[in-house]
Amino acid sequence: MGEPLRIIPLGGLGEIGLNMTAFEYGDSIIVVDCGLMFPEDYMLGIDIVIPDVSYLKRNAEKVKAYIITHGHEDHTGALPFVLPQVDAPVYGTALTIGLIEEKLEEFGLAKSTLFETVRPRDRVSIGPFDIEFIRVSHSIVDGCGLAIRTPVGTVIHTGDFKMDQTPVDGEVMDYARFSEYGEAGVLLLMSDSTNVEKEGYSLSEREIGRNLEEIFRRCDGRIIVAAFSSNIHRIQQVIDAAARHKRRVVLNGKSMVANSRIAHALGYLKYPEGLMADLRDIDSIPHNEVVLLTTGSQGEPMSALTRMAMDNHKQIKVRKGDTVILSSKFIPGHEKAISTMMNHLYRRGADVIYEKVSEVHVSGHASQEELKIMLNMVRPKYFIPVHGEYRHLVLHARLASRLIPQENVIIAEDGDVVEFAPEGGFVRAGRVESGRVFVDGKGVGDVGEMVLKDRNHLAQDGMVLALVAINATTGGMVYGPEIVTRGVVFEEGRPGLIEEARKVVIEALNALNAEVKTEQLEIKEEVRRALRRYFNRTLERKPVILPMIIEI
């Protein structure tokens, strides 16, 4: 009797982002994807979020490879933080590896990382795993699903996909290979759940090209297109429309310039000589002959488009007659920032076109009918929905239950261990440590839930600093108390409040006996209690109270 196949999601099941799944058999682990997530509103000061890889660190000698399905950051962005802890070769297609290499270069890790570049239909053997890369359509070039052959059976992992019958580059999803694996027999299908709430089919990326063509035809001024820098097909369609309308293209934004350079060098992005112009030359080109491709479609505070909207960009000033196209979806949580940016663009005199008023974005994820087709092609014995919030996983599980037995549909969450035995059947074999690790500047994991709670407390109720100098021998007050508030009240507007707070501290200290007055910790706690009660009574607020006791 052989060993079981253990499948352990470490991220991406219960959230959008953080995609990472460990496949373990015997003394070998392969990790599919290694993604990040951008912070939610309550994560004050956090730059990015990465998965907790404690389990991989404890089993580092078993980890043989990272298999990356495509180049989006929710599948690659944690690599700079995870590789120094658990090193292994990174496998991916050419553009995927190119984007990863560029990112690792920033962290000084590119030279020490072993990259293995593959093409669709290539197969690689890693320990007991035989892995084939299968082409899929998505909103980035070179995306792949995976067929992972194991001693227990074959697992199909779709990666992110949709079924685009008319892709921009003509590279249609490899339906044949998925169907062939379905004919041969598939133990388990793990399938993208992002768009399970949407009925029907996702629109083809080529539809955007037609809509961009119409917008370009009627615009007389400059055209500014904001898009995700990883969406090479979208960039290609903007470039094609610019060429047809005799406009030159200017790239703006670090990632836009870098990703376009990588894609062009690898042959994924094509344009005629002389079409591209330098940002420094933009003012010398007539307005009706310019297309600016930029980052910042989500209203990020320091992005190029936001700085243009705020009239704070060194080289580009948005003027009346400019047309701004936001060619991307509004990511949940960014709506307010995007709306604010759009309002400022209108103030500058620009016309703004976005997905609510025009078809300038389509999803890269499969809708319900495509998800059914995938299930019918692969015909798995078991099914695990992946890549989505919990409701997406539940809805995808219900959808799958119409096509395969309900008892064979498994809703797993991050940290769950699902074991498939060689003789058949599966068990939930407990849990491993999982969760989210916060990255704040150069700190990785040093900001935890308690720190975030303190930051939210400070943001909501402010801080009060109480400075008192005490005679170390007698306990008598030598200086103060001095009360300083931040984020509580406008002190000049409420002078009586601060003076009253001083009196509260004096009364609290006078009430202490001589012995307690010589104990700094006791004094601190008494000052904290007195001020907490005072501000709660007068303002109905609970600011963070920081007593500072100086012994003289």
Question: Mind telling me the catalytic residues?
Answer: 192, 365
- CB count within 10 Å of CB 111 equals 8
| Integer Cα distance of 293 and 524 in angstroms | 57
- The sign of the dihedral angle between the CA atoms of 484, 487, 488, 493 is positive
Helix, strand or coil, per DSSP, at residue 547: strand
Q: How many residues does the chain have?
A: 552
Q: How far is it between the farthest Cα atoms of the chain?
A: 89
5-28 exposure pattern, b = at least 16 Cβ within 10 A, e = fewer: bbbbbbbbbbbbbbbbbbbbbeeb
418-431 exposure pattern, b = at least 16 Cβ within 10 A, e = fewer: bbbeeeeebeeeee
| Integer Cα distance of 499 and 531 in angstroms | 12
- CB count within 10 Å of CB 406 equals 10
- CB count within 10 Å of CB 540 equals 7
DSSP 404: S
Residue 399: which of 204, 203, 191, 202 has the closest Cα? 191
216: left (phi over 0), alpha (psi -120 to 50) or beta: alpha
Helix, strand or coil, per DSSP, at residue 528: helix
Helix, strand or coil, per DSSP, at residue 505: helix
* Residues in Cβ contact with 327 at an 8 Å cutoff, skipping those fewer than 6 apart: 208, 212, 225, 226, 227, 234, 238, 297, 360, 361
| Integer Cα distance of 307 and 193 in angstroms | 35
Helix, strand or coil, per DSSP, at residue 464: strand
Residue 195: which of 385, 38, 11 has the closest Cα? 385
Question: Where does residue 490 rank: exposed (0-12), middle (13-18), buried (19+ CB within 10 A)?
Answer: exposed
The torsion angles phi and psi of 250, rounded to 5 degrees, stand at -115, 130
Bridge partners of 147? 132, 156
